Amino acid sequence: MGTKILYVLGALAAVLLVRNLYVILLGLPDEKDQGAIYRIIFFHLPAFFTAALCYLTALISSVVYLVRKSQRADDLALSATEVGLAFAAVNLVTGMIWARIIWGIWWTWDARLTWALITWLIYAGYLMLRRAIDDPSERAKNAAVLCIFAFASVLITWKSIDWWRTQHPGAVLSIRGAEGGLDPAMESMIYFNWLALLLLCIVLVAVRMRQERVQREIDALRRHAHAL
Amino acid sequence: MNVVTANGLWKFFGDYPALRDINFEVESGACHAVLGRNGAGKTTLLRILAGLSKATRGDVRILGGDIRHPDTRRRIGILGHGIAIYDELSAIENLRLFARLYGLPHPDRSAQEWLELTGLKHVSDGLVREFSRGMRQRLAIARAFIHTPDVLLLDEPFTALDDRAMAVLQNLLRRELNRGCTVLMSTHQIREAMELATHAVLINRGRLAYAGLRTAEMLSDPNWLYKNYGDS
Amino acid sequence: MTEFFRQSLSITVKDLRLEMRSKEALNASLSFALVILLLFSFAFDPSSEHTREISGGLLWLVFAFAGVLVLNRSFARELPNDCLEALVASPVSGAALFLGKALANFILLMALELLCLPVFGIFYNVNWTAQFWNLLLVLALATWGLTVIGTTFSALTVNLRLRELMLPVLVYPMMIPALMAAMELTTHLIAGQPLSADLWLWLRLLIGFDIIFTALALALIEVVLVS
């Protein structure tokens, strides 16, 4: 992706984030039961969606790598996983802050929380596995296989509120069939902030991919030098 | 008929091409010596032919079939750097295991025969762990030959063999070649290899530098190929 | 097809024979299991009713910790002398090789678990015989789940420098669904309750886990083994 496009996307993300923050903090009124803290949902939920999308991207590009052996696909899988982990961490931390205020404790061992954490650990394991393998092709291949296994936990996290009785609030978006949950202004705000985080995510992934490509070039040059 | 055909073979480690555009053919009954310096790509090439590694680009066929197809692999024998036998099994158990995996009709009889051929009959029930190095090497040779392969892929077969194992291997290779078996071997022991070889292949930094008949010059001067086709 | 299973069986027999000769994995895991059982007695009062309620969880923690010692050896056993290369180059397909190894691991793990059960029963005063056949079913299903994950990841990490460190980090989070279901079911069965309707959810989870990951492993193992 061209550097200019990246700058434009980055600037767009920044402007949108500032605008969203302004509306979230000053525009929208407090919620009647939760008070001010409900606003955290505008980051909690979009961060999860962004992370899930990253995991999905990693899954698809891992499959593409296994089929086509394209290094670019592997770069994308790695970059998406790294950025996804960052957004998943945002999701977990915002959730914990909210839980501290509303439930009075930082963490409940509730199915959805637990699965979000398990997923995070599995993808952290993915990064550790990559670190432990020296040969770049072998690394890409084994990581791709692990990534396919790992995605099962993303699916379980997503479905966990349906499968187990949990304290975690149920589906809130109207597209998941939630009834009368959210005020339309709030729901649209969630989408707006998701857009901002998504733009940020794309910029980060693109930058990481570029770093990976350069890293591979350096590795290849080093091997050339050794072969001389 | 060509037993091995490699077409536009590339193997990348990351962005580094370990093999670049390798094209060559091996006729039935030929014995190819694959030469090259350390890290030139000999082992990589043999691993791809053995089905242990996948080419990034290009097409390899052995006996007209896909290398990962079981029917193709049943007809290939490999002898690599490691001896690939189990220390905690006895000699006969090792051979019987591989005879079974290759689907031989009489695993036990084949195992006995090959113990006889490699001079290990008297220790057939001894654990490999207790064997001397030479005995283990002979057992490894038996393991590689037990299913009477049509193609033999040998990676540095003569390296570090003791006298007796060397004699066993050379005799067996002659016998297999006479039977019509096709042999590819990578090697540093140029003299031993050249005596057996009908063809020579030189790989230089992942590229094919020479592929053709083994000539009289190569036999008299083992470094002839490196001098004329190597780049330094 | 029969060829496929014959090859798998040869691999299983070979792995079991190697293990019986050296007993390296079984001895280590069995004594490790006993040590954990002992350590738990300090963490919880073994005679209290409350401990009885979490006995299924304790038992499966023991199995999971000790089991990984067995699973870790599965492909590592092929490393000396480069035996794995000879197996991959032989006409045995990756799936047949995987199935053979998984079966050997399954048998070893089941043996480990059946040896631990009476010890657990004595030390923690639980009646594991109350629903023995149902318990055996749960043991078998959950152990197969652990085996499939463990064997796959053993293959995935076999060439790693830090193999012994990496395997537990990768394997335990992946095993959680199977462990969760097994813990829940075992706790109820040890308490003498039959497999009732609300336990069916957990049994279904266990069966689903087994089917999905066995299929994934069989489909992907060839890719893992051929570099």
Q: pLDDT per position in chain A (228 positions), as tens? A: 688 999 999 999 999 999 988 888 888 877 777 778 888 889 999 999 999 999 999 999 999 999 988 899 999 999 999 999 999 999 999 999 998 988 888 888 888 888 899 999 999 999 999 999 988 889 999 999 999 999 988 888 887 777 776 677 766 666 665 555 667 777 888 888 999 999 999 999 999 999 999 998 998 898 888 877
pLDDT score recorded for residue A190: 87
Which pair of structure tokens corresponds to residue B78? 């490999």
> What angle do helix axes B107-117 and B133-145 make, rounded to 10 degrees?
130
Best of C2, C14, C87 to substitute, by most chain B Cβ atoms within 10 angstroms, is C14
Q: CB pairs below 8 Å between A and B: how many?
A: 30
Q: Is the complex ipTM more than 0.85?
A: yes
Neighbours of chain A (3+ CB pairs under 8 A): B, C
Question: Which residue, among A45, A53, A57, has the nearest Cα to A20 in the 3D structure?
Answer: A45
pTM of the model: 0.91
- In this complex, which of B16, B54, B56 lies closest to A224 when CB atoms are compared? B16
State what percent of residues in chain B have pLDDT above 70: 99
pLDDT score recorded for residue C90: 92
Is C196 in the B-facing interface, judged by CB distances under 8 Å? no
Interface of A with C in 115-134 (CB under 8 A): 118, 121-122, 125, 128-129, 132-133
A13 and A199 Cβ atoms separated by less than 8 Å:
yes
What is the average pLDDT across B46-69? 91
Strands B65-66 and B76-79: unpaired
Is C156 in the A-facing interface, judged by CB distances under 8 Å? yes
Q: Which helix (H) or strand (E) segment is C113 a member of? A: helix C94-124
pLDDT score recorded for residue A178: 54
Confidence at B221, pLDDT banded by 50, 70, 90: confident
- CA gap A91, C157 in Å, rounded: 30
pLDDT score recorded for residue C201: 84
- Residue spans of chain C under pLDDT 50: none
* C117: CB partners within 8 A, 6+ apart: C59, C128
Which pair of structure tokens corresponds to residue A120? 């995070």
Length of chain B: 232
Q: Kindly identify which residue of chain C lies nearest to residue A153, measuring between CA atoms.
A: C174
* CA-atom Rg of chain B in angstroms: 18
| Residue recorded with tokens 């003299």 | B191
Best of A217, A223, A228 to substitute, by most chain B Cβ atoms within 10 angstroms, is A223
Q: What is the pLDDT of residues B157-176, one digit of tens each?
A: 888 788 888 888 889 999 99
Question: Which residues of chain A have a CB within 8 Å of the CB of C159?
Answer: 133, 138
**Phi, psi values for residue A159, rounded to 5°:** -85, -5
Best of C88, C159, C163, C174 to substitute, by most chain A Cβ atoms within 10 angstroms, is C174
Strands B207-213 and B199-204: antiparallel
Which pair of structure tokens corresponds to residue A96? 């914990």
Best of C75, C163, C166 to substitute, by most chain A Cβ atoms within 10 angstroms, is C166
Neighbours of chain B (3+ CB pairs under 8 A): A, C
**Residue B96 clears pLDDT 90, i.e. is over it:** yes
pLDDT score recorded for residue B48: 93
Confidence at B110, pLDDT banded by 50, 70, 90: very high
DSSP label at B182? E
pLDDT score recorded for residue A174: 61
Handedness of CA A198, A199, A204, A210 (dihedral sign): positive
pLDDT score recorded for residue C49: 76
| Residue recorded with tokens 């078998």 | C140
State what percent of residues in chain B have pLDDT above 90: 55
More confident site: B217 or C184: C184
B19 and B206 Cβ atoms separated by less than 8 Å:
yes
Q: Kindly identify which residue of chain A lies nearest to residue C180, measuring between CA atoms.
A: A111
**Residue B232 clears pLDDT 60, i.e. is over it:** no
* C16: CB partners within 8 A, 6+ apart: C104, C107, C108
What is the average pLDDT across B185-209? 86
pLDDT score recorded for residue A175: 61
What is the average pLDDT across B51-79? 91
pLDDT score recorded for residue B161: 84
- CA gap C222, B45 in Å, rounded: 20
Q: CB pairs below 8 Å between B and C: how many?
A: 84
Is C119 in the A-facing interface, judged by CB distances under 8 Å? no
Q: How far B8 CA sits from the closest chain C CA (Å)?
A: 19
In chain B, DSSP assigns E strands to 2-13, 16-27, 31-35, 57-62, 65-66, 76-79, 151-155, 182-186, 199-204, 207-213
A81-A83-A86 Cα angle (round to 5): 110
Average pLDDT, chain B: 89
- Judge residue A28's burial from the number of C-beta atoms within 10 Å of its C-beta, 0-12 exposed, 13-18 middle, 19 or more buried: middle
Question: Edge-to-edge, what's the strand order for the sheet holding B2-13?
Answer: B16-27, B2-13, B57-62, B65-66
Q: Kindly identify which residue of chain B lies nearest to residue A223, measuring between CA atoms.
A: B16
Transcribe chain A into DSSP letters. Answer: --HHHHHHHHHHHHHHHHHHHHIIIIISPPBTTTBGGGGGHHHHHHHHHHHHHHHHHHHHHHHHHHHH--HHHHHHHHHHHHHHHHHHHHHHHHHHHHHHHHTSSS----HHHHHHHHHHHHHHHHHHHHHH--SHHHHHHHHHHHHHHHHHHHHHHHHHHHHS--SS----SGGGT--S-S-HHHHHHHHHHHHHHHHHHHHHHHHHHHHHHHHHHHHHHHHHHHH-
Contact B73 C21 (CB under 8 A): no
Contact B51 C89 (CB under 8 A): yes
